[in-house]
Amino acid sequence: MISTTISIRVRYGETDQMGVVYHGNYATYCEVARVEFFRELDMPYKELETSGIMLPVTELNLKFIQPAYYDEVLKIQTTLMEIPSGVRLKFQYAIYNESNELLTTGFSALAFIDMKTRKPVRCPDYMIENLKRISS
């Protein structure tokens, strides 16, 4: 499995009146972490889109353990669960606060979709090769 970690500071607009992160923002945090995962591995989303493939989320599950608060710096660990062999890609997420306490866990599934036909396609060979190389 391949993992990356990013940091995000909780902005005021992401919280409710109590200073707690609104639950819907966690999906955005996971998306930012996932995009950075690919960028860190030198496979930016933009290149995938330029080649005619998009990666919509088909499934997202989050488990809230403890709240995150305004101005905290969150660490988001993103892990590719397996090297894709078909049309789906699966990630796990773990979000920690500054005290390294686990706040949220989750997973997402994405599908490789041809931008013109809007039909599922297999993961591009170059991506599979890069992921295998990085994971070995």
Whether residue 80 contacts residue 37, with contact meaning beta carbons closer than 8 Å, is answered with yes
Looking at the 3D structure of the chain, how many domains does it have? Answer: 1
C-alpha closest to that of 124 among 65, 53, 42, 60:
53
136: pLDDT strictly greater than 80? no
Look at 28-37, 42-51, 91-100 and tell me which has the smallest mean pLDDT: 42-51
Q: Give the range of the structural domain holding residue 46, as residue numbers without chain letter.
A: 2-135
Query: Using one digit for the tens of pLDDT, what is the confidence trace for 63-107?
Result: 999 999 999 999 999 999 999 989 999 999 999 999 999 999 999
How many angstroms separate the CA atoms of 61 and 81, rounded? 14
Whether residue 96 contacts residue 68, with contact meaning beta carbons closer than 8 Å, is answered with no
Share of the chain above pLDDT 70, in %: 100
User: CATH code at 86?
Assistant: 3.10.129.10
